[in-house]
Amino acid sequence: MRTNPLAAINSVALAIGHFSSLHEMLDYALAKVLEVVETEAGSVYLLDEARGELSLVVHRGLSAAAWLDFDHLKLGEGLSGRVALEGSPIVVRNLKDDPRLTRMAARAEDLRGFASIPLKSNLRIYGTLNVHTRSEREFSEEDVQLLTSMASQIGLAVANARLYLDLQASERKFRGLVENAEDLIYLTDGEGRILYANPALERLLGYPPRVLNGSGLTVLTLVHEADREPVAYALARMLGGEVVRALEFRLMHADGVRFRWFSQTNVPLRDGAGAAAGMQCIAHDITDRKEMQEQMAQAARLADLGRIAANIAHEIRNPLGAIVNSITVLRRPGAGADPRLLDIVTEEADRLDGILREFLLFARPPARAAVACDVGELIDGTVVLFRRDAKVPAEVDVRVHLGPGLPPVLADPSQMRQVLWNLLTNAVEGPGEGARTRAVDVEAAVRADGSAVEISVTDDGPGVSDPVAVFVPFYTTKAQGTGLGLAVVDRIVRDHGGTITVENAPPRGARFTVSLPAVAPAEVPARVHAHGDHPARR
């Protein structure tokens, strides 16, 4: 009695995924097919598209001589080859009478009735399902439909198996690329916890991946303390789904002493709803480049210091000479305490102090402690102190203009006050000749694209003749100038990743513009810093 066809189809469908290998599943399916259509023999061919060849994978009821004879068929060869090529079933009542039969072993095997059905899935052909009888048999339309249904289930299983194998091969390929990469590659969850890190983590920083994987440690725990705050701001953007490229920072070695520089680019990881659920990062080791840059910068600093040493010796001679001469006069017998000479001593001593202070600031800048700074508060606070300074003429009018929606900047507030103080001092010391009212305008506005805040200081002076030379140490056009104030400004601004430019602004004097990278509102912590020491008193 014939097995229930629907039960047989369901049996094959349920069997998919329950076998450890594709071969076992195909053998089980072929047995069910032979049972339901009541035939003595059968086979399954799978197509190798790259070679254009069919391979006999499983068979039942065939002698060794038979299956060895047609274990491989070219695409288009014989009956099964035609089915695989054209995608349509072929049904034969008696193989001995069919001229399309190319392998004689089938006749020697005394195979008569034959049906070959393509294994299809999503319009793609994966092979053929074949059944044989040893007596003449006319397979009915119902038989062909049943075989086609079962072949569809087998085709789906083959498609899934091949997809799985392809995914495995792809995973092995890319895992090999990741694990053998020179760069540090790691994944995090939405909180910045490290979920995976490739072996470069151990090679570069001494951490075995197993120490971090699943430990709950975040990226920030590895970041150098001096870089932690700016990286925290960037991390908030990255975990929010933004791609941040070429972010440079230091990661600490496992020994807690050494560190390495990295340039990192991230790509967001997204969940099924498209929301950012973490990030995957590639961090390229740039330690050698940074060391080379530092060596070049050190060489440049040494060259600058050599030039500065010669200049400072010259600059010190004049005030020292004035002080010595005044003291010599005061020490003469009967000489009174001439207030004019005492004033000269005081003024020249102050000048010496200013030269040495600015020289030290230029030659040995203090460590930068960057925080999110309110630009408006920085400007207002510095201007208030500047107006109260005894050296600033009372008639100087310092006006402040703050644009709307100023974002914070990531900066050392004390050093930024120094920048503003030096620019204001430069503006006041160079007014236009004969000007009744000396005005200095300090303006701040956010750049149109929101990427930076621009602070400008405009004076009523004669302008600048050389916009580049004004930032060179000891370049000055002022009788009492040290030539270091603007050099210090240039160095501090560059150290903050910003730029400073100068231009003439007729009918007024010179306009100095400092541009500093803005911090996005989402990156700003609850506490925003704007306070620092008075630059003139450090």
CATH dotted code for 288-363: 1.10.287
Classify domain 184-285 at the CATH class level: alpha beta
Of 254, 279, 253, 278, nearest to 267 (Cα)?
279
Percent of the chain with pLDDT over 70: 82
pLDDT greater than 50 at residue 1: no
Percent of the chain with pLDDT over 90: 26
pLDDT greater than 70 at residue 534: no
Confidence category of residue 376, pLDDT binned at 50, 70, 90 = very high
Element of type H or E holding 127: strand 124-132
* Whole-number Å distance between alpha carbons of 488 and 511: 17
Q: What is the pLDDT of residue 436?
A: 46
| CATH 3.40.120.10, applies to 365-537 | no
- 409-436: pLDDT as tens digits: 988 898 999 999 989 988 887 644 444 4
Confidence category of residue 259, pLDDT binned at 50, 70, 90 = very high
Q: What is the pLDDT of residue 204?
A: 93
Mean residue pLDDT across the chain: 82
pLDDT greater than 80 at residue 195: yes
User: Which of 29-33, 52-56, 449-453, 472-476 is the least confident region?
Assistant: 472-476
pLDDT greater than 50 at residue 526: no
- By three-state DSSP, how is residue 196 classified? strand
User: Span 457-471, mean pLDDT?
Assistant: 84
* SS3 labels along 218-268: EHHHCECHHHHHHHHHHHHHHHCCCCCCCEEEEEECCCCCCEEEEEEEEEE
* Whole-number Å distance between alpha carbons of 534 and 140: 100
Confidence category of residue 477, pLDDT binned at 50, 70, 90 = low
CB 39 within 8 A of CB 113: yes
* Whole-number Å distance between alpha carbons of 42 and 34: 7
Starting at the edge strand found earlier in the chain, the sheet holding 499-504 runs 397-402, 439-446, 452-458, 510-517, 499-504
Q: What is the pTM of this model?
A: 0.48
Q: What is the pLDDT of residue 320?
A: 73
Tokens for 372, please give them.
């999110």
User: Which of 135-139, 297-301, 317-321, 348-352 is the least confident region?
Assistant: 317-321
Looking at per-residue pLDDT, the higher value among 525 and 385 belongs to 385
pLDDT greater than 70 at residue 5: no
Q: What is the pLDDT of residue 180?
A: 83
Q: What is the pLDDT of residue 419?
A: 92
pLDDT greater than 50 at residue 285: yes
User: Span 249-260, mean pLDDT?
Assistant: 93
User: Span 205-217, mean pLDDT?
Assistant: 76
* Whole-number Å distance between alpha carbons of 79 and 135: 18
* Whole-number Å distance between alpha carbons of 417 and 421: 6
Q: What is the pLDDT of residue 86?
A: 93
* Whole-number Å distance between alpha carbons of 128 and 89: 9
pLDDT greater than 70 at residue 536: no
Q: What is the pLDDT of residue 511?
A: 92
Confidence category of residue 535, pLDDT binned at 50, 70, 90 = very low
User: Span 343-366, mean pLDDT?
Assistant: 71
Residue-level length of the chain = 538
Looking at per-residue pLDDT, the higher value among 191 and 476 belongs to 191
Sequence spans of domains, the chain: 5-175, 184-285, 288-363, 365-537
pLDDT greater than 60 at residue 463: yes
- 72-101: pLDDT as tens digits: 899 998 899 999 999 999 999 888 777 777
Examine residue 230 and say whether the peptide bond preceding it is cis (omega within 30 degrees of 0): no
Confidence category of residue 283, pLDDT binned at 50, 70, 90 = very high
The domains spanning 5-175 and 288-363 adopt the same CATH topology: no
**Residue 247: beta bridge partners?**
264
pLDDT greater than 70 at residue 529: no
User: Which of 16-25, 114-123, 281-290, 450-459 is the least confident region?
Assistant: 16-25
CATH dotted code for 5-175: 3.30.450.40
- 142-191: pLDDT as tens digits: 889 889 988 988 888 888 888 877 787 777 777 778 888 899 999 889 88
